[in-house]
Amino acid sequence: MNLDTRLIGRLHAARRVVVVTGAGMSAESGIPTFRAAGGLWRHYRPEDLATPAAFARDPALVWAWYRGRQHTVAAAEPNAGHRALARLEKRLADWHLVTQNVDGLHQRAGSRALTELHGSLWRLTCSAGCPRVEGTSGRPVPPGDAPLPRCACGAWQRPGVVWFGERLDEAALSRAWAAASACDLLIAVGTSGVVYPAAALPELAKAGGATIVEVNVEETPLTPVADFVLRAPAATALPALEAAW
């Protein structure tokens, strides 16, 4: 993949880099995105599943959806895009990866300087608000009607993700906000740029004078804001950026 020489110049000049990833980052690992035709929302609307009210109404339905996603993710592998980002983190001093994804593939590829804005598929929290967070050791629950997990307080445990209408973790959001405000290069990969406050990060970086690069197979609301658009899949574009850097 040939890159614009001006973009290559910006890569070499960059000192503070932020990468924001969305579901398209994991598409080539075989994990469906949310809003594409065959996406995760194909049978349901977000408000049917990814909200506290949906969980209160039908915890078994919401758990069935998340357990299905755990099985898909457990069978998936990080792709060449995840691995390129993990190698770039080791080469660049001031690097911050902010992901909207809850699948844990960035960590499995070796990324460490990472903020999970929307939580993790592999964490359990209490639906009644107890502070205890439990890991699931990354192993999906066996298929079938395994009983729903309960917190020690007796309430259902829920997936440790941020649902619509829920606040993001303050510390995570502050870290992402500060990094985007201070960066001189922001690369947005595989996100439709419709879910806030994550979708505001590229605008924030742009306002701070950063160069914005979009990696996406389709046009998004971010495209007009971007200084450079790589209209290619993440697993092609990110290794090309790494090779040119």
Interface contacts to ligand BV8, rule CB under 6 A:
22-24, 27-28, 33-36, 39, 50, 100-102, 118, 161-167, 190-192, 194-197, 215-218, 220, 233-234
Q: Provide the minimum distance between the beta carbon of 8 and ligand BV8 in the complex, in angstroms, as a whole number.
A: 20
CB of 164 to ligand BV8, least distance (A): 4
Complex with ligand BV8: residue 22 or 239, whichever CB lies closer: 22
Q: Least distance from C-beta 187 to ligand BV8, angstroms?
A: 11
Give the nearest distance from C-beta 170 to ligand BV8 in angstroms.
11
Contact at 8 Å (CB) between 199 and 43? no
Token couple for 176: 């992402």
Asked if residue 83 lies in contact with residue 110, where contact means CB atoms within 8 angstroms, the answer is yes
Least gap, CB of 27 to ligand BV8 (angstroms): 4
For the question of residue 118 being annotated catalytic, the response is yes
Of 131 and 170, which CB lies nearer to ligand BV8 in the complex structure?
170
**Would you say 16 or 213 has its CB closer to ligand BV8?**
213
Cβ atoms of residues 183 and 16 within 8 Å: yes
Residue whose token pair is 């690992």: 29
Measured from the CB atom, is 16 or 159 closer to ligand BV8? 159
How far apart, in Å, are the Cα atoms of 195 and each of 28, 41, 60, 128, 217?
A: 21, 14, 25, 25, 18
Torsional sign, CA 45, 48, 49, 51: positive
Supply the DSSP string of 82-127, one letter for each residue: HHHHHHHHHH-SSEEEEE---S-HHHHHT--SEEETTEEEEEEEET
Which residue among 82, 96, 106, 118 is the active-site one? Answer: 118
For ligand BV8, the closer CB: 16 or 22: 22
Residues designated catalytic: 118
